[in-house]
């Protein structure tokens, strides 16, 4: 009860919702599907002759599942907490909470922990799956407990980041973008620390150990080891895992302490206060005396006289005021508002500045790799080794796609939450004007996030770390993906009436597609190099991905084109992965362009033809 009634109510209500059990069942089924796929890959290409082979399989799949679950937890915890608070702000209900008897800690901690109930449930549901690996061997109870401990503390830290930023910022897009970039900055800082750039040893602990403890992904991989490092001063605090828990705990206390201290300073926001001040001023003006009213009448009469002089051509230069020119609205008012006004607030410049700093850091890292000659690594003749430059550019690509997608979905949800979508639908706007206005407007606002990855890729080609054909293929693929994530955000925003659901489905689809590709690559590389013969083991993985994609973007607004796109996209993506591991860049580019380009068009067809936008009038929207 120390965290207040907000968490108590959510803890009592959440188990009554059917989706609480559906999420857990689907998550456990997905983990078992990954285990079965890995087993089929191993058994179909290698001979399992001893107990040691079984133990090596158990240890290998455990080292794959642990970081994958951690990445999911970071994503869900951060954006779930951020989305929960942002929804309260969009619906103007956070002000009502501030007017109650809730103190600051009950409001901040209660809301943050309430948003993480589903995340904690998923972690606990995955515990039996990890324990099932005991049957293969190679995994101990201590390893599973350490992995679960790191995952839990990381979920709290990510949720604290998302909740604090959401309480600070007013716009939903600003919250989502800053949350994603802050997590990326923290992960990047741990890499800098591990490279001994700042110090060699601190408190008797090496820089590499500090970096591992600061990075949750490295920490969970260390926790998955049978004998994690605990030498020297680390032994007193439980090794690297204990140091990681200490660091995360300090971060949780600091982030939530800041939020608790400043929640009533940040909220209500300046925009809300300005609106209240304007209402008070209007009320004061409405009770002014008759003398002021007569003055206004006289002023109006004088203005009419001046206008009459202007029409007659007799103008007194001493009394003529210069007429202010007004901006002319384009034929597409949606596109004009998106590109010519601060539709998403002036604080979007902060997001652009932080992103450009991340791009500059990635470019510097790539420059150092090119200068040292480590940018290009020659693998075997099949080209199955992932190039080192991928560690610098892939996170930048992911962050840019997430930011573009976040702006696209919030551009529609903000209109709905602000009561403006109903007005737009009763105007003479055509579906083409609305859809393309939002599409091109989002890409214009996020032009830095679209152009920076392309420029970084161009630098790699100019520096000789990439061939011309690879640069052209990657350029075409990034262009297609930018259109895909933009249209995906608009589609989810128009399909789901609940803003939090729309944002979760949109960002979750982008993240799961990215994580699915990474998981396939890890499974293929970890167990075998016979990529030509792995279609059958991955059929279940591909079918599950297609079903999940259709449920996310197709079942609320079904169409034959979306059904076909969701069924074909996972299979073509698998073909692209195999082509990438075999070093066939042209096939990868063609498969990416066909799969994601067709899906983009499939989502665009309902928006242009039916113009079916969910406005939130269905019953039970809060449960969507």
Q: Whose CA is closest to 552, among 606, 611, 492, 594?
A: 492
Q: Identify the H or E element spanning 96.
A: helix 94-98
Phi, psi of 421 (to 5 degrees): -65, -40
- Would you say 489 and 406 are in contact if contact means Cβ atoms under 8 Å apart? yes
Task: Give the integer Cα–Cα distance in Å for 85 and 443.
Answer: 26
Please identify which residue in the block is written with the tokens 């996020």.
Answer: 446
Task: Give the integer Cα–Cα distance in Å for 157 and 162.
Answer: 9
Contacts of 198 (CB under 8 A, 6+ apart): 192, 207
Task: Give the integer Cα–Cα distance in Å for 430 and 424.
Answer: 10
Tokens found for residue 174: 């600003």
Contacts of 312 (CB under 8 A, 6+ apart): none
Q: Whose CA is closest to 244, among 261, 219, 226?
A: 219
- Would you say 462 and 575 are in contact if contact means Cβ atoms under 8 Å apart? no
CA dihedral sign, ordered 499, 406, 153, 107: negative
Task: Please state at what angle helix 499-527 crosses helix 539-553, rounded to 10 degrees.
Answer: 170
Task: Please state at what angle helix 447-462 crosses helix 348-372, rounded to 10 degrees.
Answer: 10
Task: Give the integer Cα–Cα distance in Å for 198 and 127.
Answer: 38
Task: Give the integer Cα–Cα distance in Å for 377 and 465.
Answer: 10
Task: Give the integer Cα–Cα distance in Å for 190 and 212.
Answer: 7
CA dihedral sign, ordered 577, 579, 581, 583: negative
Phi, psi of 552 (to 5 degrees): -75, -45
User: What pLDDT, on the 0 to 100 scale, is given for residue 614?
Assistant: 64
Q: Whose CA is closest to 446, among 410, 471, 418?
A: 410
Q: DSSP code of 429? A: -
Please identify which residue in the block is written with the tokens 């597609």.
Answer: 513
- Would you say 597 and 485 are in contact if contact means Cβ atoms under 8 Å apart? no
Kindly give the parts of the chain with pLDDT less than 70. Answer: 1-2, 44-47, 230-236, 269-327, 375-386, 527-534, 610-624
User: What pLDDT, on the 0 to 100 scale, is given for residue 386?
Assistant: 66
Task: Give the integer Cα–Cα distance in Å for 573 and 507.
Answer: 19
Q: Whose CA is closest to 86, among 558, 575, 439, 503?
A: 503
Q: Which residues pair with 206 in a beta bridge?
A: 201
Q: Whose CA is closest to 377, among 366, 365, 389, 367?
A: 389
CA dihedral sign, ordered 269, 274, 279, 283: positive
Phi, psi of 206 (to 5 degrees): -70, 160
Q: What is the CA radius of gyration of the chain?
A: 28
For the full predicted model, state whether its pTM sits above 0.85.
no
Q: Identify the H or E element spanning 202.
A: strand 201-202
For the beta carbon of residue 283, count every other beta carbon within 10 angstroms. 9
Task: Give the integer Cα–Cα distance in Å for 381 and 583.
Answer: 9
The end-to-end CA distance of the chain, in Å, is 28
Task: Give the integer Cα–Cα distance in Å for 348 and 293.
Answer: 42
Contacts of 64 (CB under 8 A, 6+ apart): 34, 38, 519, 522, 523, 526
Q: What is the pLDDT of residues 405-417, one digit of tens each?
A: 999 999 988 888 7
- Would you say 485 and 404 are in contact if contact means Cβ atoms under 8 Å apart? yes
User: What pLDDT, on the 0 to 100 scale, is given for residue 128?
Assistant: 93
Q: Whose CA is closest to 484, among 372, 566, 363, 387?
A: 566
């Amino acid at each position: 009860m120390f965290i207040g009634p907000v968490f108590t109510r959510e803890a009592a209500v959440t188990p009554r919702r059917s989706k609480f059990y559906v999420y857990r069942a689907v998550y456990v089924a997905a983990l078992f599907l990954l285990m079965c796929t890995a087993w089929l890959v191993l058994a179909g290409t290698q001979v399992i002759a001893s107990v040691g082979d079984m133990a090596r399989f158990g240890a290998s799949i455990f080292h794959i599942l642990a970081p994958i679950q951690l990445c999911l937890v970071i994503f869900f915890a951060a954006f779930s907490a951020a989305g929960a608070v942002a929804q309260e702000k969009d619906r103007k209900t956070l002000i009502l909470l501030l007017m109650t008897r809730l103190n600051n800690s009950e409001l901040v901690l209660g809301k943050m922990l309430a948003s993480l109930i589903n995340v904690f449930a998923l972690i606990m549901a995955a515990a039996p799956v990890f324990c099932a690996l005991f049957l293969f061997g190679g995994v101990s109870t201590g390893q599973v407990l350490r992995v679960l401990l790191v995952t839990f503390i990381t979920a709290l830290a990510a949720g604290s980041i998302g909740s604090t930023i959401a309480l600070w910022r007013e716009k939903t897009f600003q919250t989502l973008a800053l949350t994603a970039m802050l997590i990326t900055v923290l992960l990047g800082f741990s890499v800098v620390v591990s490279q001994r750039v700042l110090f060699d040893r601190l408190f008797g602990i090496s820089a590499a150990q500090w970096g591992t403890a600061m990075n949750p992904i490295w920490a969970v991989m260390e926790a998955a080891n049978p004998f994690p490092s605990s030498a020297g001063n680390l032994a007193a605090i439980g090794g690297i895992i204990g140091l990681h828990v200490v660091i995360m705990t300090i971060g949780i206390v600091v982030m939530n302490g800041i939020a608790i201290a400043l929640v009533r300073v940040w909220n209500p926001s300046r925009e809300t206060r300005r609106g209240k001040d304007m209402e008070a001023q209007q009320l004061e003006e409405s009770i002014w005396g008759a003398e002021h009213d007569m003055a206004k009448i006289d002023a109006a009469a004088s203005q009419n006289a001046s206008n009459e002089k202007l029409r007659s051509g007799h103008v007194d230069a001493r009394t003529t005021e210069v007429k202010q020119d007004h901006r002319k609205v384009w034929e597409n008012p949606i596109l004009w508002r998106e590109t010519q006004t601060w539709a998403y607030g002036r604080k979007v410049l902060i997001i652009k500045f932080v992103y450009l700093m991340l791009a500059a850091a990635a470019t510097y890292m790539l420059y150092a790799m090119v200068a040292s000659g480590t940018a290009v690594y020659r693998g075997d003749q099949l080209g199955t080794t992932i190039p080192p430059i991928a560690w610098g550019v892939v996170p930048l690509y992911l962050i840019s796609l997430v930011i573009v997608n976040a702006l696209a979905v919030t551009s529609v949800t903000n209109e709905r939450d602000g009561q403006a979508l109903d007005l737009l639908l009763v105007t003479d706007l055509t579906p083409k004007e609305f859809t393309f206005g939002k599409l091109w407007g989002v890409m214009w606002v996020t032009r830095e996030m679209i152009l920076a990855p392309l420029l970084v890729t161009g630098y790699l080609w100019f520096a000789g770390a990439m061939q011309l054909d690879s640069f052209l293929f990657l350029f075409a693929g990034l262009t297609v993906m930018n259109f895909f994530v933009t249209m995906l955000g608009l589609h989810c925003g128009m399909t789901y009436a609940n803003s939090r659901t729309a944002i979760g489905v949109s960002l979750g689809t982008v993240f799961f597609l990215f994580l699915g590709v990474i998981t396939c690559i890890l499974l293929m590389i970890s167990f075998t190099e016979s990529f030509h013969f792995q279609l059958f083991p991955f059929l279940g993985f591909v079918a599950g991905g297609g079903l999940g994609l259709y449920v996310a973007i197709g079942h609320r607004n079904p169409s034959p084109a979306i059904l076909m796109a969701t069924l074909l996209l996972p299979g073509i993506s698998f073909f692209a992965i195999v082509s990438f591991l075999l070093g066939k860049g042209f096939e990868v580019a063609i498969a990416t362009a066909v799969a994601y380009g067709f899906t983009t068009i499939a989502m665009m067809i309902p928006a242009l033809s039916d113009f079916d936008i969910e406005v939130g009038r269905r019953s039970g929207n809060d449960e969507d």
